[in-house]
């Protein structure tokens, strides 16, 4: 089987996470991705500990942060100083034959080198040019720098996350960076599909702030419909009850009922039959209105049962229930082993792109590149 993007030529002028995530996803889908780095390399090469030390083809060794390896699998790397005329000329020669360019420089920052979208499109009209920024290519904030932490604060997700009596909380990974990268991949794919019809490339414009607001989903609609801004509720759900963390004798579990059948089964399983005949709890709207009374009763019942026993009991009844795993427990889960989620390209551990295709293969066999270890041409991997 052939990888879906075999033969696709991608230049990555991006660093840190959102832009490189686009490049890594395309690489895992078979594209040839040349990562163009400054002489100092991508910032995340130094974002450790932990670090990975490995030998390089030239006989030297390299010590690079695990963070870098999380977003740069499958690429090659060349070093380019934009201020050097020869380096810039070689880069433009690459652009002339590329299908996709990914960049996450400040808005307007590449124009002085002739690497902005207009200049690159003139050089290669079929080029799909993906721009990742904090706030987008226009608008009053376009020149402001953007970072995931700031975006989580500005887009409302931190005001929805954490204990209602505590401070707002960010999500434990760079959530908006990752989602922006995935939206960037979708944008690139859409532009490539359009190119098949028109013969022309175009600019893909994705930003952290728009991504963060764009994935607020039901919470955004709750505000738009009601006019009331939702706020953080800890582990409770604004629209569903019971749907939260509950105590057990040896820790906590998540119970997430999504319909009346599941709720009735839960009450029967926990000996809470009184709620089955109480009209206040007959439907979800009533349960939302009386969440305190109901959740207190469920907590009292679950607190008497050990986690494994409760999960087994409720799972057998088709009630959504699960543990709160550590990162180690999640990665080491037998389901992840069965699905081959942990990979070790060239001996370096990683987590594969979570896409499986029935009639095409994905490529996860190449590790992240050493700084400048690639070739200044497509089809000439070192």
CATH code, domain carrying 301? 3.30.1540.10
Cβ–Cβ < 8 Å for 267, 301: no
- Domain annotation covers residue 292: yes
Give the three-state DSSP class for 311: helix
Domain span at residue 285 reads: 243-326
Provide the pLDDT for residue 133: 96
The tally of domains found in the chain comes to 2
Residues in Cβ contact with 380 at an 8 Å cutoff, skipping those fewer than 6 apart: none
Residues 166 and 292 both lie in one domain? no
CATH at residue 53: 3.40.50.10540
Residues 174 and 250 both lie in one domain? no
pLDDT along the chain (382 residues), means of 10: 92 97 97 96 95 84 94 96 95 97 95 97 98 95 92 95 92 96 98 98 98 96 95 91 96 95 96 95 95 96 96 95 94 95 92 92 86 85 46
Please confirm whether the linkage preceding 49 is cis (ω < 30° from 0): yes
Residues 152 and 193 both lie in one domain? yes
Residues 272 and 307 both lie in one domain? yes
Provide the pLDDT for residue 382: 43
- Domain annotation covers residue 3: no
Residues 14 and 157 both lie in one domain? yes
How far apart, in whole angstroms, are the C-alpha atoms of residue 130 and residue 68? Answer: 21
Residues 122 and 206 both lie in one domain? yes
- Domain annotation covers residue 160: yes
Residues 134 and 257 both lie in one domain? no
How far apart, in whole angstroms, are the C-alpha atoms of residue 11 and residue 76? Answer: 10
Residues 110 and 180 both lie in one domain? yes
- Domain annotation covers residue 115: yes
Cβ–Cβ < 8 Å for 89, 63: no
Beta strands in 165-315 (DSSP E): 203-207, 243-248, 251-256
Residues 203 and 262 both lie in one domain? no
- Domain annotation covers residue 287: yes
Residues 175 and 317 both lie in one domain? no
- Domain annotation covers residue 221: no
Provide the pLDDT for residue 216: 96
Residues 26 and 152 both lie in one domain? yes
Provide the pLDDT for residue 380: 58
Q: If we measure between CA atoms, which residue out of 180, 162, 179 comes closest to residue 170?
A: 162
Please confirm whether the linkage preceding 340 is cis (ω < 30° from 0): no
Beta bridge pairs of residue 13 = 103
- pTM of the full structure: 0.92
Catalytic hit among 163, 177, 273, 333? 177
Residues 280 and 151 both lie in one domain? no
- Domain annotation covers residue 262: yes
* 177 noted as active-site residue: yes
């Amino acid at each position: 089987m052939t990888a879906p993007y075999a033969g696709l030529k991608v230049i990555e002028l991006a660093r840190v996470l959102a832009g490189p995530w686009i490049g890594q996803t395309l690489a895992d889908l078979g594209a040839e991705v040349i990562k163009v780095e400054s002489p100092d390399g991508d910032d995340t090469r130094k974002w450790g500990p932990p670090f990975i030390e490995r030998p390089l083809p030239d006989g030297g060794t390299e010590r690079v942060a695990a963070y870098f390896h999380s977003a740069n699998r499958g690429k090659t790397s060349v070093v380019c100083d934009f201020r050097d005329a020869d380096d810039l000329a070689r880069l433009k020669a690459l652009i002339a034959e590329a299908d996709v360019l990914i960049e996450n420089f400040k808005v307007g920052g590449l124009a002085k080198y002739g690497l902005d979208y207009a200049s690159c499109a003139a050089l290669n009209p079929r080029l799909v040019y993906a721009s990742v920024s904090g706030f987008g290519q226009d608008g009053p904030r376009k020149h402001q720098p953007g970072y995931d932490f700031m975006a989580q604060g500005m887009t409302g997700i931190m005001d929805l996350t954490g204990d209602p009596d505590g401070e707002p909380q960010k999500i434990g990974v760079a959530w908006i960076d990752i989602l922006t990268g995935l939206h960037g991949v979708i944008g690139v794919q859409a532009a490539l599909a359009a190119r098949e019809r028109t013969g022309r490339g175009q600019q893909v414009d994705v930003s952290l702030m728009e991504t963060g607001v764009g994935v607020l989903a039901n919470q955004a609609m709750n505000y738009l419909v009601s006019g009331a801004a939702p706020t953080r509720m800890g582990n409770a759900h604004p629209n569903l009850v019971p749907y939260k963390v509950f105590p057990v004798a040896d820790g906590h579990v998540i119970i997430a009922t999504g319909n009346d059948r599941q709720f009735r089964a839960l009450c029967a399983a926990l000996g809470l039959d009184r709620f089955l005949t109480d009209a206040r709890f007959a439907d979800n709207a009533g349960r939302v209105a009386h969440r305190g009374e109901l959740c207190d009763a469920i907590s009292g019942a679950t607190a008497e049962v050990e986690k494994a026993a409760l999960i087994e009991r409720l799972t057998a009844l088709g009630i959504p229930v699960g543990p709160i795993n550590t990162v180690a427990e999640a990665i080491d889960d037998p389901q992840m082993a069965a699905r081959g989620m942990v990979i070790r390209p060239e001996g370096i551990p990683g987590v594969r792109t979570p896409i499986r295709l029935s009639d095409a293969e994905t490529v996860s066999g190449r590790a992240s590149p050493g700084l400048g270890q690639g070739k200044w041409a497509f089809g000439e991997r070192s």
